[in-house]
Structure formats: C-alpha cells, structure tokens
Amino acid sequence: MAGLGSSFRRLLTASALSNGADGVFQVALPILAVSLTRSPAQVAGVALAARLPWLFMALPAGALADRLDRRRTMVRVQLSRVVVMGALAGVVALDQAAMWMLYLAAVVLGIGETLFDTAAQSILPSLVGRDDLARANGRQQAVELVMNAFLGPPLGGLLAAVALALAFGVSAAAFLLAAIALMSVAGSFRPERTAAEATRTLRQDIIEGVAFVWGHPVLRTLGLMLGTTNLAFTAHGSIFVLYAIRPGPMGLTPTGFGLLLASASVGGVAGSLAADPIARSVGPTRCLRVAVVVFGSALAVPALTASVVANGVAFMAATFAGVVWNVITVSLRQRITPDRLLGRMNSAYRLLGWGTMPIGAALGGLVAETAGLRATFVVAAALHLPMLLGFIVVTDRRMRDAEEG
C-alpha cells in the first residue's frame, strides 16, 4: 500500500472492521431465520427485505452523497448499524425473536447500505490519485473479502453455535469500532458545488445523475449486465442456506456453513490482487468476458452435486470472477466520472445493477417453493446467460474510448 496514503489506510481499517462485522451478521441472520421457519419463501423474504431499499433509496442516496460530507454519512450509518445489531442481540437473548423483526432489521440495514456504499465508492478518488485507483480498489476489495468472506463467516458460524445473541453483539461492537476508525480520517469530503448547483432541488440532481449514466453507452450496458447477474445471484443465494444446513442435502452444521462461505474469500483475494495486472496484460474486455462465463457456470454447481468440495471450489471461482469484474468496472467508472457526479453516478448505476436483487430474492423463494431447491440453481444459471450478450454491445473500442475520455 506504499504511496496510497495514511487516510486510505484508515479507510481500509474501517472497511476491515465493518466487513468483518457484516460477515458475522450475514451468517447469523439466515441461521436465525431457519431456526424460526423452514419455509423457502419466508427465508428468501429476509434477502428480499435487505435488497428492497436499493429500489427506492439508491437514487436519493447518490444525490445526498454529492451534497453531504461522504465520511460523515458513513459514520452515521455505522452508528445506526450498532443500534440494530444491539437490538437483535437483545431480542435473541430474551428468546423473543420473530420473523417480522428480521424483515424490519433487514430493511433498516438495507437503507443504511445504500447510503454507506454509495458514499464509500464516491470517497475513494478523493484519497488516492487517478493512476492508483485500480490498485486502491484492488486492495480495498482484498480487505473486504478477507474480513467479509474469510474471517467473518466462520466466526459467525462459531459464535452462532455458541449463542446467536453473541454473534449479533460482536457485530455491533465491530461496527462501533469501524465508526471510530472513520472519524480518524482527516479532511472534508463534501463535494464542491457551484452557486447554480446549490440552488437546484434534490429531484433535479437525481435526474442529472440518471441522465449521465443512461446516456453513457458503456456505463448503461455494464449496469444492465450487472443487474442481470445480481438477479441470478440473489435468487441463488436467497435459499442456499436451506440447501446447505442440515437437514438440507449438504448436511452442514452452522459452523460448516460459515466455513463453506469463507472458501469464497480465497478466490476473491486472488482476484482482487490479480485483476489490475491481468487487465493490463490481456485487456479489460477480455477479462470481463471470461469472468461472466466463470461466474455463470459456478451458479449451476449446486444443481449438479451436493459435494462440499465441489461447491467450495465453485464459490472460489465465482468470487474470483466477481472481484475481477468489480475492480475493473469500478475503477473505470471512477475515472470517467467528474467528482461532483460520483455519488449520483454510483447510485444510478447501482439502481440498474442492484435494483434487480429484490426481484431475484422473490424469484428464488418462489421457484424453490414450487419446484425445489435444485431447480432454483438451474434457473439462476440460465438467467445469467444474457450477460454474455452484453459484450456484443460493449466492444474493446468503446471501453478504450471510455478510459481515454
């Protein structure tokens, strides 16, 4: 990380703590859900509730990120996460948890995620130079994956095996430490606005951001492609816990489930470190084509076998491909977007890319409820195929023009 600066390192520290807490929570919440119900539709409803805010909060979150201090927004979201995690720990400890509480918590945390993630992706170009963006994004992805997918899930499984309330309590403590780390990042991160911009309404700001993304052929196409893959991935992931934890076909314990999810981080860390050099060597478009094929193939593996080894390898391959995609596309977006539009660009792009997640969660629950778990994995893999067609539109020339423009 030499040359990336102390502020960037503090941001990485906050990211490590936050993603570690999230990794624990992402295992503990579905385990809590399956302890309350075995209905695929109700379990998938938790994922639906968590992703629903991207449909109605993504665009306002982007406009706010271009109006407010981005670091302060991130701190406030972390503090709200502390409250939610603490409340969950309390109701679980008192044996008063109910599914509606999980849905409510998921919605509140989902709203926070739209605000936090939009601000986080928009703040990075203020901390590192343009030429260091790919390297910084790669390092950030590596830290996020190690904590969110490697350390967090097995820790979450172990804590959940001891006491679910403990898992939520540990998440609350880590989110608090992340907020403190963010407070130590020096400087103001409120974007500069002209006098004319200062008089505009939030609606006008939102319209400008949407027009920028939709009018840019590369951003528009990549956003639609991301929406397709996230729809498929959420349909897959929303019911995977029922397939993995006994009495599901894989027969895992909660700890084993956490370890299986952690296997993904091996591929993810490798992808975060390899994305920039590979893209420089063979070209970003070729990298993205291969990533799409690998990711889609991995989604089909649970339909073919319940082998823990095979599914672990599939998780690693999918995460490698997903991280390569993220590093390349996020760095591209940051390079071609003016700072004053970063928040709105990220939110409009994510509305295209993440707004399909509630649909995916609902679809996953519906297919699993009516046709079975394995059928859901087949449908998810099939839905991913349209992404391949996207690269007919996004050519090497247009990607290159976007980089140079």
What's the rounded mean pLDDT across residues 6-24?
A: 87
From the list 112, 116, 57, the residue with the least C-alpha distance to 355 is 57
Is the pLDDT at 2 greater than 50? The verdict is: no
Q: Model confidence over 111-155: pLDDT tens digits?
A: 998 898 888 878 888 887 777 777 787 778 778 777 876 677 778
Residue 400: predicted pLDDT? 63
Residue 1: predicted pLDDT? 44
What is the pTM (predicted TM-score) of this model? 0.72
pLDDT class of 80 with cuts at 50, 70, 90: very high
Residue 71: predicted pLDDT? 93
**CA-to-CA separations, 375 to 33, 61, 297, 351, 371, in angstroms, rounded:** 22, 36, 15, 27, 6
Calculate the dihedral angle through the C-alpha atoms of 139, 143, 149, 155, rounding to the nearest 10 degrees: 170
| Dist. CA 249–CA 241, nearest whole Å | 11
Residue written as token pair 């599901």:
248
Q: 190 versus 5: which is more confidently predicted?
A: 190
Pure H helices in 245-356: 254-282, 284-299, 301-304, 308-336, 342-354
Residue 96: predicted pLDDT? 94
Structural tokens at position 282:
């063979």
Task: Classify residue 187 by burial, with Cβ atoms within 10 Å: 0-12, 13-18, 19+.
Answer: exposed
Is the pLDDT at 27 greater than 90? The verdict is: no
